[in-house]
Structure 1
Amino acid sequence: MQMTKFCNHLYDETTDGYIQILKLNDDYNGDKTIKIYNTKNDGLKDVVEELHEKEDVFLSPNTMYLPKRRVENIRQFRALFQDIDCESIGFEKAETVYMVWMLHYEGKIPKPTMVTDSGRGVHLYFRIKNAPYGALNTWQELQDYIYYQLKHLGSDRKATDGARVLRLPGTINSKCDADCKVLYIDNETEYSMYELREEYLNYKPKVHQLQMQQSKKLDNKVISNRFFNSYSLHMERANDLEMLCKLRKYDMTGYRNMAVHCYAYWKGIYVRDSYELENTVIEFNNAFTEPLKETEIRAVLRCIPKAVDKFIAYEQGIRSGERKRVSKGMRDKDGYWYKNETLIDRLGITIVEQRYMKTIIGIDEKYDRNNKRRREERRNENGLTKREEDKMKTIESIKKLYQQGYKQVEIVKTLGLSKGRVSQIIKELKAK
């Protein structure tokens, strides 16, 4: 019953991708070995029944599109979650759950949809409408926000990445010989990440920073510029660095230390599991024509957790309404906020190479792109840019299908648009 309730809460007929389950075992030498199960939702019941009342079983709340558990392989985000090791800091489980609910009543966090006893602490789950890998930066922002609010209760930063596994109820935690079980469950509530973002992250999307500066009004809202916020910027910069290596056919001699340092930090914003991050960075380094030694890689990795902690504190401080600036000390020691000019100089990025980048570009390339965009946005005979013309066509298509009696879900599938976009336009049509 514990396993069934747990699995039915997280997974349903909309579940796509692989669910990974880990079973830790002791070998004859007393070392831990891992047995890995990768199953689709229709095979989940058989696997969990096999593992009922076994020791040290873990499950991934989010699914993977490949049977390999990595952040970059995420197929669906099914829940936000937190691993709270409350007993290690002197809180009892009941006391911790009470304080979690108080934080919810104070409007600081959403109400958990499920709470489980992990043996030495509690796990909180916030079930969400499933979202694809493209929602990674929003998922991570929300995950970090909740972690930051629960940090004083023993929330574990290492358990905040999308590929994390948590203990499965109906099994046993061998470290304390305790049963893992479901304490609370609410099957009626399912959150939208974008609604949570607006409610808890003090988020104001798609407002250009220049407009904010010109408004002359004090505003604590998080500024999301035309293309990126801090989370998505780090992800795209890691992608830019991978592109740079490909352009150079991985001949990064003279730039290896800076490349590995930046890559480890940018990836570390999303990959919180130290073992997975180490493997990811080692793979990146090993692709070089002249790789660094693994001892050098591990030396770089030692500073990453503290830098990520500082990044979270800074970002969540802003989202809490604090007025902060990135100080010189943060750039030099605790967080790495390199300007494009610095990255271009220290990685030796040429004008030609910048043309293949999304974020690491100089002033000249930026102006070239802006001029190109302006040329592409020439207006048609009706005075509309191509973007405005496409928008009008989309509205007309939705209007036509809606008047023909199509449901919103059918319109989404027919036109290949997002559910939110279709819903917004239909609301506007009804209001007229």
Structure 2
Amino acid sequence: MGNVLEKATRHFFFQHNDADGWVTIAKRENGVYRQRHYKPEEAARRLSEWLGEDVYFSQNTFYIPQRRIENIRQLRALYSDIDFYLLNLNVEWILGSVELLIKDGVIPEPNLIIFSGRGIVFVWLLEPVPYQALPLWQVLENNFSEKLAKIGADKKATDAARIFRLAGSTNGKNGEMVEVEYRHEHRYDLRQLQYDYLPELNPDRQKKKGRPKKVVQLHNVYRLHFTRLRDLAKLVQLRNYEVDGFRETICFLYRYWSCCVLNDPEEALEHTKAFNEQFTRPLPEKEVVRATKSAEKAWAARNNAEANRLAIEKGYPGAGYNLTNAKIIKWLDITREEQQQLETIIDGREKQRRNTIYQRQKRRETGVKPREVYLAQEREKTDDKLHLLQDALAQNPGSSVRKLAEITGLSKSAIARLLKRMKSTC
């Protein structure tokens, strides 16, 4: 037991030492995951309770104790799950192929390799970054997965909420112990990985005519779906989870955007079921599955080349649901006050309000005074000019506008305006 616990502890803290947020530890029992969430320091005391068959832990952390994509706090690793047994490939060949890719600069060297009993997981540790970097993280994750697709990389195991087996546990399918090979401790910088492996996303790269935009578009579309998913969760929270009358629509949208973000319909459905359970009065599980089934079909169509071609021929941007903010706001009856708390599901008025605040802040940062201060200072300047003119008139009664301008140094038009103001106040 001691040796097994040491293996588990080393693996856990190799990835999550000084981590911020909650880490999920899970165990599969009778085909169902039992999971708990711990802060890293507490996990050290609880790992021994989880040892045994089919034990997993999350590669990234969450800001609340719920393992869902919209709750990501820190992105701490990239990974690729290689199911080589499905292709009847051998471990030595897989490792040799990856070494060649590393040597050729196709992928960086992984920090560790998890031998899970029936597969291999390559893990690249990152300098922790917040959830805002998730779109870039996902593009890199997909990029590495595509490069390793020929050796069995699982394209569904690419979401940031993914869990993998913990060293020291055993694989329940064949009884083999999970082992880890540690390569190095250097944590990669996400931006540096972008510059090294995603040149098409580099902002300072010289644009060329006909340059492929696929990666850039995927980055932007993913950002939109992820942010809308977070907005949906925020909206439910703002309503204190009392969403009767909107439950079916909310679950439908949640399942669709989860499919788009996770790229795994089964995982998306499980997340949707868990999301529904937060409601004050949740829908029955069968109703959740039935009411949101079309969301998965739309996602599948969105990823189908022929379906996209037909949709574009009909004048749509593509297959799947291309929902406008106006339609979402109408469906969910989102108030103006609620929109102020959301990131992207907002109407034109809220967008303009934010832009006004942004421009005002920008002016202040560049030294431009707020309007109230500016007007006050202008009034003070006018009063000073008025006193100057009054003194000139007292000493030179009956002087012409031209003469008063020479005495005071003010323009003739300024003198005329001040004289007019003096008359109106008399």
Q: TM-score, normalised by structure 2?
A: 0.65
- Secondary structure of the structure 1 residue equivalent to 2:135: helix
- What amino acid does structure 1 have at the position aligned with 2:76? R
Partner of 1:415: none
C-alpha separation between the residues in 1 aligned to 2:334 and 2:42?
Answer: 49
Partner of 1:62: 60
The match for 2:78 among 77, 80, 96 is 80
Partner of 1:15: 19
Shift of 1:45: 5.4
Shift of 1:102: 3.6
Shift of 1:203: 5.0
C-alpha separation between the residues in 1 aligned to 2:238 and 2:230?
Answer: 12
- Contact 1:264 1:281 survives alignment (8 Å): no
- What amino acid does structure 1 have at the position aligned with 2:75? F
Partner of 1:91: 89
- Contact 1:245 1:252 survives alignment (8 Å): no
C-alpha separation between the residues in 2 aligned to 1:7 and 1:374?
Answer: 46
Q: 1:364 to 1:79 in 2, by over 3 A?
A: closer
- Contact 1:85 1:155 survives alignment (8 Å): yes
Partner of 1:233: 224
- Contact 1:144 1:312 survives alignment (8 Å): no
- Contact 2:235 2:338 survives alignment (8 Å): yes
Partner of 1:122: 120
The match for 1:6 among 11, 26, 37 is 11
The match for 1:101 among 99, 102, 112 is 99
Matches for 1:36-51 after TM superposition, within 5 Å: 36=35, 38-42=37-41, 44=43, 47-48=46-47
Q: 1:168 to 1:308 in 2, by over 3 A?
A: farther
- Contact 2:302 2:318 survives alignment (8 Å): no
C-alpha separation between the residues in 2 aligned to 1:148 and 1:60?
Answer: 22
The match for 2:188 among 186, 191, 204 is 191
- Contact 2:79 2:121 survives alignment (8 Å): yes
Shift of 1:147: 2.8
Are 1:298 and 2:289 an aligned pair? Answer: yes
Partner of 2:272: 278
C-alpha separation between the residues in 1 aligned to 2:259 and 2:356?
Answer: 35
C-alpha separation between the residues in 2 aligned to 1:169 and 1:330?
Answer: 52
Q: 1:176 to 1:334 in 2, by over 3 A?
A: farther
- What amino acid does structure 2 have at the position aligned with 1:231? Y
- Contact 1:70 1:276 survives alignment (8 Å): no
Matches for 1:238-387 after TM superposition, within 5 Å: 238-242=229-233, 253=245, 257-270=248-261, 272=264, 273-274=267-268, 276-283=270-277, 286-287=279-280, 294-302=285-293, 327=312, 335-344=320-329, 357-363=342-348, 366-367=351-352, 369-370=354-355, 373-374=358-359, 377-378=362-363
Shift of 1:176: 1.7
Deviation readout 1:356-385 (Å, 9 max, x if unpaired)? 654234456545654564455446896699
- Secondary structure of the structure 2 residue equivalent to 1:170: coil
- Contact 2:111 2:183 survives alignment (8 Å): yes
- Secondary structure of the structure 2 residue equivalent to 1:126: strand
- Secondary structure of the structure 2 residue equivalent to 1:94: helix
- Secondary structure of the structure 2 residue equivalent to 1:172: coil
Shift of 1:86: 1.6
C-alpha separation between the residues in 2 aligned to 1:344 and 1:37?
Answer: 35
- Contact 2:194 2:201 survives alignment (8 Å): no
Shift of 1:325: 13
Shift of 1:330: 11
Aligned length: 357
- What amino acid does structure 2 have at the position aligned with 1:282? N
- Secondary structure of the structure 2 residue equivalent to 1:264: helix
- What amino acid does structure 1 have at the position aligned with 2:212? N
C-alpha separation between the residues in 2 aligned to 1:73 and 1:166?
Answer: 18
Unaligned runs of 5+ in 2: 1-5, 372-426
- Contact 2:55 2:169 survives alignment (8 Å): yes
Shift of 1:105: 4.0
Deviation readout 1:332-362 (Å, 9 max, x if unpaired)? 9854333335545655667787566542344
Deviation readout 1:235-283 (Å, 9 max, x if unpaired)? 3223444566677885674x66544322222234445534641324423
- Contact 1:331 1:338 survives alignment (8 Å): no
- Secondary structure of the structure 2 residue equivalent to 1:190: coil
Partner of 1:421: none
C-alpha separation between the residues in 2 aligned to 1:59 and 1:23?
Answer: 9
Partner of 1:143: 141
- What amino acid does structure 2 have at the position aligned with 1:185? Y
- Contact 1:18 1:65 survives alignment (8 Å): yes
Partner of 1:159: 157
- Secondary structure of the structure 1 residue equivalent to 2:187: coil
- Contact 2:255 2:268 survives alignment (8 Å): no
Aligned-residue Cα RMSD (Å) equals 4.5
Q: 1:299 to 1:374 in 2, by over 3 A?
A: same
Shift of 1:175: 0.5
Deviation readout 1:203-232 (Å, 9 max, x if unpaired)? 54679xxxx9xx88333355589xx93223
Shift of 1:125: 0.7
